[in-house]
């Protein structure tokens, strides 16, 4: 039994971690075809991928996979949609992995107005909130499996290595030019566009304004974080962690206020080395919480709390006003926001195994 997988974005790549081994337990092999940012990102998380050019469509009648898995993409013209269509045309079961509830209506819309225009036969979602979001759009609940997120098991595995090296040693290796006596705050950047670009630009209901010279969501939240640190913890070192799709030049205006810019490699190293991880709704913030690091989500609207599962799970504190942000940073750095200890109860391990089991069950039923 051969499974073909197609991914374009880093978030989709994270969903494939450990899946090849898990499928092997069911007698299946996994070929992962990657393009775009996922192709460059995959090696950093230990994922072996092939060029998307090697995936022939329509599927040859004498060499068809038993099933197809796709990840969602921020590209409305994603080639991944063609793969889903080809599978459905050939009668091959298709599965889509979704890493959270955010932007459910745009995950499979493509360039159409139909949120389910390119939806696969079955969905593999990370949490109940994501399941509910797709059910509300019209997907049959019987075609959705809540499987967890495979990346969280990679986080657990990496934690053991980090503990052996030690936080101080890891910080010295990553940020040798930052005084170890300074509190280190890591800010997780995102792109200010995405599946629905209008959601990532300033609107009248924003409760954060930044410095008033930019409308980008990431820039506004970064500016508010810089201001809060200046007011409550001026000796803190703020490190900007770039998203794989970010360009460092986009943040050139903040260079003098940043202690460092972190990019490439394993982002979990920078997370573990930090005293506080501040982000918006990136899955990396969820991963930081699973790593038992103090985390803080700052968004310009209260409603955006629904975009990140770790907020609803009680793993990440959420703030959306300057006073809330300043107060939470003060508490985290001076009194100590403690990371959650019962992670395995809240986020059960074994997501890749659950994905493999769901696929095998659907194929053989």
Q: Are residue 288 and residue 236 in the same domain, yes or no?
A: yes
Torsions phi, psi for 181 (to 5 deg): -80, -15
Judge if 110 and 172 occupy the same domain.
Answer: no
| Residue 355 and residue 276 in one domain | no
Q: How far is CA 279 from the centre of its chain?
A: 11
Q: Are 161 and 81 within one domain?
A: no
Pairing state between β 50-51 and 29-34: parallel
| Range of the structural domain that residue 358 is part of | 2-148+350-364
Which pLDDT value is given to residue 194? 55
What is the Cα–Cα distance from 333 to 236, expressed in whole angstroms? 9
Calculate the alpha carbon distances from 32 to 6, 100, 258 in Å. 6, 21, 37
**Residue 72 belongs to domain with CATH number:** 3.40.50.2000
Residues 76 and 208 in one domain: no
Residues 160, 138 within the same domain: no
Angle between helices 351-364 and 151-165 (to 10 degrees): 160
Query: Are the CB atoms for 3 and 29 separated by under 8 Å?
Result: yes
pLDDT at 242: 95
The answer on 170 and 272 residing in a single domain is yes
Q: Rounded to the nearest 10 degrees, what angle do helices 217-232 and 322-330 cross at? A: 50
Residues 108 and 53 grouped into a single domain? yes
The SS3 call for residue 1 is: coil
Q: What is the pLDDT along the chain (365 residues), one digit of tens a residue?
A: 999 999 999 989 999 999 999 999 999 999 999 999 999 999 988 899 999 998 989 998 888 999 999 999 889 999 999 999 999 999 999 999 999 898 899 999 999 999 999 999 999 999 998 999 999 999 999 999 999 999 999 999 999 899 999 999 999 999 999 999 999 999 999 976 655 566 677 788 999 999 988 889 999 999 999 999 999 999 999 999 999 888 899 999 999 999 999 998 889 999 999 999 999 999 999 999 999 899 999 999 999 999 998 998 889 999 999 999 999 999 999 876 555 667 888 889 999 999 999 999 999 86
Do 143 and 198 belong together in one domain?
no
CB 147 within 8 A of CB 355: yes
Is there a single domain that holds both residue 207 and residue 250?
Answer: yes
DSSP string for residues in 292-339:
T--EEEE-SSGGGGGG-HHHHTTSSEEE-SHHHHHHHHHIIIIII-PP
Counting the structural domains of the chain, the total is 2
Same domain, 92 and 192: no
Q: Do residues 118 and 160 both lie within one domain? A: no
User: What integer pLDDT is reported at residue 112 of this predicted model?
Assistant: 95
pLDDT at 195 (0 to 100):
53
């Amino acid at each position: 039994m051969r499974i073909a997988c197609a991914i374009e974005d880093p978030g989709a790549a994270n969903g494939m971690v450990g899946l090849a081994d898990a499928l092997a337990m069911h007698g299946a092999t996994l070929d992962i075809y990657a393009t775009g940012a996922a192709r460059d990102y995959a090696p950093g998380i230990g994922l072996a991928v092939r060029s998307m050019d090697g995936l022939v469509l329509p599927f040859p009648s004498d060499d068809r996979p038993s099933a197809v898995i796709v990840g969602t993409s921020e590209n409305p013209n994603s080639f991944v949609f063609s793969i889903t269509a080809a599978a459905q045309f050939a009668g091959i079961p298709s599965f889509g992995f979704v890493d959270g509830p955010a932007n459910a209506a745009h995950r499979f819309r493509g360039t159409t107005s139909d949120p389910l225009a390119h939806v696969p036969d079955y969905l593999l979602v990370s949490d109940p909130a994501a399941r509910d979001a797709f059910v509300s759009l019209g997907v049959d609940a019987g075609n959705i499996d809540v499987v967890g997120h495979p990346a969280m098991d990679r986080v657990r595995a990496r934690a053991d290595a980090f503990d052996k090296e030690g936080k101080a040693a890891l910080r010295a290796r990553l940020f040798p030019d930052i005084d170890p006596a300074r509190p280190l705050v890591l800010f997780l950047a995102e792109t200010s566009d995405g599946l629905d670009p209008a959601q990532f630009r300033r609107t009248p209901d924003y409760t954060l304004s930044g410095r008033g010279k930019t409308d980008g969501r990431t820039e506004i939240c970064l500016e508010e974080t810089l201001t809060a640190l200046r007011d409550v913890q001026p000796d803190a070192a703020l490190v900007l962690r770039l998203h794989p799709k970010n360009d460092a030049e986009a943040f050139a205006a903040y260079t003098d206020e940043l202690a460092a810019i972190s990019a490439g490699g394993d982002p979990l190293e920078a997370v573990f080395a930090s005293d506080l991880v501040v982000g918006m709704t990136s899955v990396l913030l969820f991963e930081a919480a699973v790593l038992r690091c103090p985390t803080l989500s700052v968004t310009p609207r209260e409603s955006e709390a629904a975009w990140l599962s770790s907020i609803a799970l009680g793993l990440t504190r959420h703030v959306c006003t300057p006073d809330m942000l300043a107060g939470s940073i003060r508490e985290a750095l001076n009194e100590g926001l403690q990371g959650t200890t019962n992670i395995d109860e809240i986020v059960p391990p074994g997501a890749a195994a659950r994905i493999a089991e769901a696929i095998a069950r659907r194929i053989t039923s």
